[in-house]
Structure 1
Amino acid sequence: MATWQSDPELENKVKRATERISENMHIVANEPSLAFYRLQEHVRKALTPMVDRRVEVTKLQYELQGRCYDVEYAVSALKAMDNAESTLKSVQDMLKNAIFLKQQLKYEEARRKKPETNSVYKRLSAHITLDLPELPELSDVVRETANRVESMMSNARHNNT
């Protein structure tokens, strides 16, 4: 029988080599589990912020869509105003005409209401100075008669014109 002599250095190298092979076999055997664990960890950390961002983007999309509708409505209103130019011009012309007619009416009214400064009674009474005693009945009668004469003179003038 042959005797084997043990070489401690060789045994040490064999032991390290078998440990490395065993470790590598363990890593290769468990690598898919580790990869799935890392994926799960990444998804768990990244999913919540991603969902929050997606909700925010959806909300912003609805707001943007509403603002687009507002802009489209404003543009159509402006186009409608452009089409109303002829109508507004017509209204402006009618307003100018109404103002002119109102001014004419006001002028005619002022001309008709002009006080008669050439009244015969007034001209005559300006030259007559009488010292009459204070008689209340007589002054009322004189005033009434003066008014009647003045109105008759006005009527006669208007009928002549």
Structure 2
Amino acid sequence: MSYNSDSDLDVKVRKATERISENMHIVANEPSLAFYRLQEHVRKALNPMVDRRADVNKLHTDLQGRCYDMEYAVGALKSMDSADECFDNIRENLKNAIFLKQQLKYEESRRKKSDSNSVYKRLSAHITIDLPELPELSDVVRETANRVESMMSKATHSTNS
């Protein structure tokens, strides 16, 4: 029986020493295993983190550009407040221009009425002669027409007075 008990004890001792050896191996290699796991994690996570950082930097640059644009727009809007005086001047000039245009139209309509009463104009409206285009002749004709018209208007004014 002592032989059996020695063999049982032998088996138990072997199992215990194997477990102790296994545990010692695990404990001895655990820091290197931890470093391996850390290295593996860093290798897998580093590239996406670098890409994300580049994206964040690009977004930051874009955001700064947009902030500058907004500041510029706000400045432009604030400067429009000081443009009130210019707009008032423009409005006044437009009013004056419209008034002057109306006066010119009125003067033209008065001239047309007096021109339509001209004997020469009424007479020339009935004459249809196709004359060749001669620059010297057209100046002479225009001058003669103006003289005849002025004489006719003087004659009508003197008879009306």
TM surpasses 0.5: yes
In structure 2, what is the equivalent of residue 98 of structure 1?
97
- C-alpha separation in 2, matches of 1:118 and 1:44: 104
In the alignment, the residues of structure 2 paired with residue 156 and residue 64 of structure 1 have an alpha-carbon distance, to the nearest angstrom, of 84
Task: Return the letter of the residue paired with 1:50.
Answer: M
Q: Which residue of 2 aligns with 1:75?
A: 74
Q: Distance in 1 between matches of 2:62 and 2:78?
A: 24
What is the CA–CA distance in structure 2 between the aligned matches of 1:151 and 1:23, rounded to whole Å?
A: 134
Q: TM-score normalised to the size of structure 2?
A: 0.71
Distance of aligned partners of 1:118 and 1:67 in 2 relative to their CA distance in 1, 3 Å threshold? closer
Moved over 4 A (4+): 157-161
Superposed CA offset, 1:63-95 (max 9, x none): 110011011111111111122012112211111
CA distance, structure 2, for counterparts of residue 87 and residue 117 of structure 1: 47
Report deviation, 1:117: 3.5
Give the CA RMSD over aligned residues. 2.6
Aligned residue in 2 for 1:113: 112
Identity score, percent: 66
How far apart in 2 are the matches of 1:116 and 1:42?
102
Match of 1:58 in 2: 57
Over residues 76-121 of structure 1, what are the superposed CA-to-partner deviations in whole Å (9 max), with x where a residue is unaligned?
11111122012112211111111111110221122023235486xx
Consecutive unaligned residues of structure 2, counting only runs of 5 or more, are 123-146
Quick check: which has more Rg, 1 or 2? 1
Q: TM-score when scaled to structure 1? A: 0.71
Higher helix share: 2
1:11 counterpart residue number = 10
What residue in structure 2 maps to residue 24 of structure 1?
23
TM-superposed CA distance for 1:26, in Å, is 0.7
Instruction: Write out aligned runs for 1:116-135 (5 A).
Output: 116-117=116-117
Shift of 1:12: 1.5
Count, aligned residues: 132
The verdict on how the C-alpha distance between 1:86 and 1:12 changes in structure 2, with shifts beyond 3 A counting, is same
